[in-house]
């Protein structure tokens, strides 16, 4: 009986060890499969992230004596009919904070003033106007500014916050900034910066864009051919000539270049097409959507343009009397 019990015990122990061994083999196999599948699935994404310059890893220089005052040139696409309807509201508000502001049209206007190009007005010719504008800026202002901002006349930019972000960068590097979109597939070839909130181009990126992409290019290789989608074509040329896009969200991943007015993000009013094209798939919504130092907003009508200018530049909050952040968020949980 003792021998029989001993044999049963030995058999149980052997079976237990075999089961443990098989479980171990299963877990190791599962881990290996997961590793290779994950590696295969994310290969393109990893390559893309390595290609994109990540600005959030840099530490902003706090010492005022070491801060760099980069000169910023802002230029705008407009038309003779839009000067009094839209362009003047930009000129009279935030554009004054740029070191240089230029307005590109199809006719010269010495009073406004505008720079006129021999181009037909209309959205179907925005790309040609944009190409002529980039070339003009390079020919006349390349040595005058460090960064070059292309914006629309319904864009609002807090130039001081842009200067703050640019402290981490060098205009000698071929880089460009903005709100990252994907057109079609989420690959390098499908990525571009939305034109609405503005595209910020470094000095070296501008040089490559104009010299390599426009002046020296011939035939089908010439950048920014006439037609629509000038922002997609501009970014395509920047890629082609060796410039890199910069991840322009803040260190918490929140938006700094907003494609819509702020209430669209705060109240979760973003359209489905935006979520589909957005690099972050529209995750930045609610009261914590956006950076404490936002840079740009789009679709800003003249009335809102002056309102935002007043709120950003003419008002102040006395921090002495500010309640705790938890109390401030208490009554807005329904939109978080």
pTM score: 0.77
Q: What is the pLDDT of residues 97-114, one digit of tens each?
A: 999 999 999 999 999 999
Residue 40 pLDDT? 46
Least confident of 4-13, 193-202, 259-268, 279-288: 4-13
Q: How do 199-202 and 147-151 pair as beta strands?
A: antiparallel
Percent of the chain whose pLDDT exceeds 70 = 77
Residue 268, Ramachandran bin (φ over 0: left; ψ between -120 and 50: alpha; else beta): left
HSE at residue 264, side-chain half, CA atoms within 13 A, is: 15
Rounded to the nearest angstrom, the gap between the alpha carbon of residue 333 and the centroid of all alpha carbons in its chain is 28
Q: Are 179 and 193 in contact (CB under 8 A)?
A: yes
Residue 168 three-state SS: coil
80 falls in which pLDDT band (50, 70, 90)?
Answer: very high
Nearest to 149 by CA among 231, 265, 255, 254: 231
Q: Rounded mean pLDDT of 33-45?
A: 53
Q: DSSP of 160-208, one letter per residue?
A: HHHHHHHTT--TTS-EEES-EEESSSSSGGGEEE-STT-EEEEHHHHHI
**pLDDT, average across residues 86-102:** 96
Task: Specify which of 53-57, 119-123, 320-324 reaches the highest per-range mean pLDDT.
Answer: 119-123
Query: Which pLDDT score is estimated for 68?
Result: 80
Q: How many CB atoms lie within 10 A of CB 175?
A: 23
Residue showing tokens 């709100």: 179
Q: CA torsion angle for 168, 255, 77, 73 (degrees, to 10)?
A: -20
| pLDDT confidence of residue 26 | 72
258 or 186, which is more confident: 258
What percent of the chain is helix, strand and coil (3-state, nearest 5)? 50, 15, 35
Mean pLDDT of 76-98: 94
86 contacts 78 by C-beta, under 8 angstroms: yes
Give the 3-state secondary structure of residue 193: strand
In this prediction, residue 67 has a pLDDT band, given cuts at 50, 70 and 90, of: confident
pLDDT of 254 over the 60 cut? yes
Is the model's pLDDT at 316 over the cut of 50? yes
What count of other Cβ atoms lies within 10 Å of the Cβ of residue 261? Answer: 18
| Ranges 138-147, 226-235, 247-256, 314-323, most confident | 138-147
Tokens at 155, concatenated: 């864009």
| Least confident interval from 101-115, 127-141, 198-212, 230-244 | 230-244
Backbone angles phi, psi at 285, to 5 degrees: -140, 160
What does the block give as tokens for 225?
A: 């051919």
Q: Count of alpha carbons within 13 Å of 269, Cβ hemisphere only?
A: 8
> Could you report how far apart the first and last alpha carbons of the chain are, in Å?
72
- What Å distances lie between residue 310 and 92, 97, 307, CA to CA? 12, 14, 5
Distance of CA 44 to the CA centre of its chain: 20
Residue 35 has pLDDT above 80, yes or no: no
């Amino acid at each position: 009986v003792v021998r029989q019990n001993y044999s049963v015990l030995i058999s149980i122990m052997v079976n237990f060890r075999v089961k443990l061994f098989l479980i171990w083999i299963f877990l190791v196999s599962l881990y290996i499969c997961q590793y290779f599948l994950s590696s295969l699935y994310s290969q393109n994404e990893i390559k893309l992230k390595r290609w994109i310059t990540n600005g959030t890893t840099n530490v902003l220089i706090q010492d005022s004596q070491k801060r760099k005052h980069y000169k910023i040139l802002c230029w705008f696409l407009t038309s003779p009919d839009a000067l009094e309807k839209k362009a003047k509201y930009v000129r009279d508000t935030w554009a004054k904070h740029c070191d240089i502001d230029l307005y590109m049209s199809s006719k010269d206007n010495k009073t406004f003033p505008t720079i006129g190009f021999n181009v037909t007005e209309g959205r179907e010719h925005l790309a040609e106007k944009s190409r002529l504008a980039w070339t003009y800026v390079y020919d006349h202002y390349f040595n005058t500014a460090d960064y070059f901002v292309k914006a629309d006349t319904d864009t609002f930019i807090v130039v001081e916050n842009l200067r703050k972000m640019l402290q981490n960068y060098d205009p000698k590097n071929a880089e460009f900034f903005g709100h990252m979109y994907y057109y079609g597939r989420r690959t390098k070839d499908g990525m571009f910066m939305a034109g609405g909130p503005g595209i910020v181009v470094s000095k070296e990126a501008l040089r490559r864009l104009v010299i390599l992409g426009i002046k020296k290019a011939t035939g089908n290789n010439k950048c920014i051919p006439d037609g629509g989608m000038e922002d997609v074509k501009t970014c395509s040329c920047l890629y082609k000539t060796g410039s890199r896009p910069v991840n322009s969200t803040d260190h918490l991943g929140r938006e700094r270049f907003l494609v819509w007015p702020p209430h669209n993000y705060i109240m979760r009013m973003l359209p489905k097409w935006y979520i589909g094209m957005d690099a972050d798939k529209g995750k930045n919504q609610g009261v914590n959507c956006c950076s404490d130092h936002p840079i740009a907003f789009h679709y800003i009508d003249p009335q809102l343009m002056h309102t935002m200018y007043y709120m950003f530049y003419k008002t102040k909050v006395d921090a002495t009397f500010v309640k705790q952040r938890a109390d401030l968020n208490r009554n807005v949980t329904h939109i978080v």
